[in-house]
Amino acid sequence: MTPIRLATRASRLALWQTEHVAHLLNQAGLPTEIVPMQTIGDQVLDRSLAKIGAKGVFTEELEESLRRNDTHLAIHSAKDVQSTIPPDLELLAFLEREQANDVVISFKEDFDIARPGIVLGTSSTRRKALLRRFYPEASTAEARGNLQTRVRKLEEGQYDALVLAYAGVHRMGYDGLIRHYLPTGQFVPPVGQGSIAVECSRFLDSELKASIKQALDHPAT
């Protein structure tokens, strides 16, 4: 059987997620091949996501590979997927969702998010707005790059703490740096945060799609 080619971003977190998808497919008897690639969101690090243009910055290159038939599936963090899916593509499966809330991580064991004057790193417009509302005495600083890059900048002292999705922190093994779990009643997570989304062409073989969906999809998610 021809391996199912999985398009993914090349970051460690994206590869972890894609390897997890590959493992589940392999368990179902479906061979896989992982195809890492760079998206515009990975390449342009000197501007905020809002200034790049928020639509598809982490998904467009993966979707183009589906259209060219270079790959069979695109593996996304579900929160990065656009609200409107192009008509030639479809979301085939959502994996079981991880805990969805945001967390604050810091190398300072006595870190207190309520302390006046602290600097919180984040690249999210949503998080910046919520931090201004609930922690007005804190300031925010742009934190771009993959998770390991942002943690390195944190360790270098560019921020007092980072505000991130729990799912990524947990998947990359940084649980020991978590200082605060932000309540979802205040810090409402974006749609899909914590889940992995699997996208394909609408023209992919229907029997193959059914087998993939059965192996991956978590209906409750």
Could you tell me the domains of the chain?
A: 4-97+195-216 (3.40.190.10), 102-181 (3.40.190.10)
Confidence at residue 40, expressed as pLDDT on a 0 to 100 scale: 74
Closest CA to 17 of 75, 102, 67, 57: 75
Mark 154-189 as b/e (b = at least 16 C-beta within 10 Å): beeeebbbbbbbbbbbebbebeebebbebeeeebeb
Q: Which pLDDT tens digit goes with each residue over 163-200? A: 999 999 999 999 999 999 999 999 999 999 999 999 99
- On the 0-12 / 13-18 / 19+ scale of CB atoms within 10 A, 150 is buried
Confidence at residue 108, expressed as pLDDT on a 0 to 100 scale: 96
Confidence at residue 57, expressed as pLDDT on a 0 to 100 scale: 80
Closest CA to 142 of 47, 12, 52: 47
Residues of the chain with pLDDT under 50: none
Q: Token pair of 92, please?
A: 């085939």
Closest CA to 163 of 112, 133, 121, 215: 121
How many angstroms from the chain centroid is the CA of residue 27?
24
How many angstroms from the chain centroid is the CA of residue 107?
22
Q: Which pLDDT tens digit goes with each residue over 201-217? A: 999 999 999 999 999 99
